[in-house]
Amino acid sequence: MRYIKKYRIYIFLSLIFAAVTVALTLYLPILTGDAIDLVLGRGKVDFKGIFDIFKVAAVVILLTSVSQWIMNVCNNKMTFNIVQDIRNEAFNKIENLPLKYIDSQSYGDIVSRVIADVDQFSEGLLMGFTQLFTGVMTIVGTLIFMLTINIKITLVVVLITPLSLFVANFIAKKTFSMFKLQSATRGEQTSLIDEMIGNQKVVQAYCHEEETMEKFDEINGRLEKCSLRAIFFSSLTNPCTRFVNSLVYTGVGITGAMSAIAGGISVGQLSCLLSYANQYTKPFNEISGVITELQNAFACASRIFELIEEEPQIPDAEDAHVLEDAQGNVALNDVSFSYKPDQKLIQNFNLSVKPGQRVAVVGPTGCGKTTVINLLMRFYDVDKGCIKVDDTDIRNITRPSLRTSYGMVLQETWLKAGTIRENIAFGKPDATDEEIIEAAKASHAHGFIKRLPNGYDTVIGEDGGSLSQGQKQLLCIARVMLCLPPMLILDEATSSIDTRTELKIQNAFAVMMEGRTSFIVAHRLSTIQNADIILVMKDGNVIEQGNHETLLKQNGFYAKLYNSQFAV
C-alpha cells in the first residue's frame, strides 16, 4: 500500500474505467434481451427495431473495448512503476546493508530475490489489479441488474455464491506455504548455479562435476516437488469454482424457465438473466485464479520485503565530520572485535601510526590481518575501543570521506564489465587519458594493455573476463595509482604477479607510499623489510612489534617466519 499510494491517480483512473467497462458489458445483455423480445413469432419480427438495437450494441462494444484498453494501460503503468520502485529500493538497501549481512548470505539467493521474486510479484500484482477491480464490480453490477429484473431468481444466485468463496479461500490458504517454499528453493537453486559458474575451474580441477550435478539434481528435484504441489493445489481452484458456478447457472435456468412459463418474465428477460448468471460466475473463476497468483506473489513479496526491511548499516551521525586532506595519523585504542560473539578474534589491540609511516601486518592465516583492514575502512564497526584518524573517531567521520581517503588494493581483484579505461578510472571518473596512461605505466600494466585488440578501449567481461589474475591485479594497482589518496592499504597486492614485475611494482609502490600512511598485509616477508613498523599477529593479538632488524634480533615468532621462507 505504501508503494501504491504514490500512483493513486492510476488506481483512480483504473477504477473509473473498470466501472465504465463493467456497466457497458452489463448493458449489452439488456439490449440482447430487448432484441429477442422483438421476435414475436413467424412473420412477426420487428427488423427495424432489432437493427436499431444492433447499432447501439456496436457503439457499446466499441466503448467497452476502448475503456478496457485504457484501464489495462493504467494497471500496467502502476504495476511496473511499483516493481521499479521495489527493485530500486532493494538495490539501494543492498548498497547500504552492513557487510556482515552480505557475508552471511548466499549471493545467488539475494539475486533471486531481486530478479525472480520481483518478477513473480509483478505478474501477480498485474493480474490482481486487472481482474480484481473488474471482477468485484462485475459481481456487484450483475446483482443490481438482476434485482431490477427478478428478485427471487437473484436470491437463488446469492444463496449459492458463498460455497464458491469458501472453496477458493480454502485452497488459497493451502497454496501460500507451498509457493513460499517454491520461492525459497528457487533461490537455493540460483545460489548453486551462481556459485558453480563463478568457480567452474575449481570444480573441474578437482573433478567434482558429478557431485555438483548430483547436488543440482537434488535441489531441482525438491523444486519440482514443491512446484508441482503448489501448481496442483492452485489449479484445483478453477475447476472447483466452475462446478459451483455451474450450479448457479443451472439454478437461474430452472427457476427462470419456471417463471417464464408462469408469465412472470419474458423470454428476452430469461435470456438476459442467463447471460447475467454467466457473467456473474465468470469473475469468481478469474478472482479464484487471481487469489492463487496473489498467493505466489505474496510469497515472493515476503522474500523481497525481508531484504528491504533488513537492518541497514548504522547511518553516519548528523554532525559527522567530513575528512578532507587527511594527514594520515591513525590510532587504534583498546580495539576488540569478533565476527561471532562466541568466537573471540581481536582483543585489546593498540597501535599508533604517524603520518607517512609504513605499517606491515604479518602472521599466519586466520590471525586477523584482513580483519584489521576491514576495521580501518569501517566495513565493520569495532565491538569495543575506537579507531581514530587525525584524532577523530572514525564513527564520527562520514563513511564516503573516510573511504576515499584510503587507496586499497586487495588480493581478491574486482573489475566491472566495461572498458579497460573505465576500470582504471573507477575511483576518478573525470581522469584524463594522459592520467590513466600514466597510472597504467606506473603499475606496469601499459605494456599488456597496448597488446589488447583495442588497447584502453578493450571491453572486458564481468570480473576481468579472459585476463590473467596477474593482469587483473595490475589494473587494480593502476586504479589506486590514479587516485593517489593520502593513505594506502595493500593486502597481498602483488600475490598474483611474477617476481620480475613485482620488483618493478615494489619500486613504484615505494614512490607512491612516500609521505603517505600505508598499511601492508603480506605473506612474503621480503616485500615488507623496509616497513617502519611490523606488527606480528597471532590469534587476533599483536605478539611482536618493531622494524625488520629489531624483530630478527629478538629471534621470536617473526624470525621463525622469516627464516622459514629462506630456508634451503
* Contact of 355 with 297, CB cutoff 8 Å: no
Q: Could you tell me what percent of the chain has a pLDDT over 70?
A: 93
Other CB atoms closer than 10 Å to residue 158's CB: what's the count?
Answer: 13
Q: What's the number of CA atoms in the CB half-sphere (13 Å) around residue 284?
A: 31
| pTM check: above 0.95 | no
Helix 209-261 to helix 151-198 angle (10° resolution) is 170
Amino acid of residue 543: I
* Contact of 272 with 30, CB cutoff 8 Å: yes
Residue ranges of domains in the chain: 83-308, 413-484
* Contact of 327 with 409, CB cutoff 8 Å: no
What is the structure's pLDDT at 40? 65
Question: Is the pLDDT at 555 greater than 90, yes or no?
Answer: no
Q: What is the pLDDT of residues 396-431, one digit of tens each?
A: 898 888 888 888 887 777 788 888 898 888 888 888
Please tell me the distance from the alpha carbon of residue 249 to that of residue 280, in angstroms, as a whole number: 9
Cell of 228: 508441482
Query: What are residue 339's phi and psi, to 5 degrees?
Result: -70, -35
Topology (CATH level 3) of domain 83-308: ABC transporter transmembrane region fold (1.20.1560)
What is the structure's pLDDT at 567? 54
Of the pLDDT bands very low, low, confident and very high (cuts 50, 70, 90), residue 63 is very high
Amino acid of residue 196: M
Of the pLDDT bands very low, low, confident and very high (cuts 50, 70, 90), residue 568 is very low
Instruction: Classify the C-alpha dihedral 340-522-206-188 as positive or negative.
Output: positive
Q: Of 510, 540, 537, 504, which is closest to residue 521 (Cα–Cα)?
A: 537
Largest alpha-carbon pair distance within the chain? Answer: 125
Please tell me the distance from the alpha carbon of residue 148 to that of residue 141, in angstroms, as a whole number: 11
Q: What is the pLDDT of residues 214-247, one digit of tens each?
A: 889 999 999 898 888 888 877 777 777 778 777 7
Q: What is the pLDDT of residues 293-307, one digit of tens each?
A: 777 788 788 888 888
- Domain 413-484: give its CATH code: 3.40.50.300
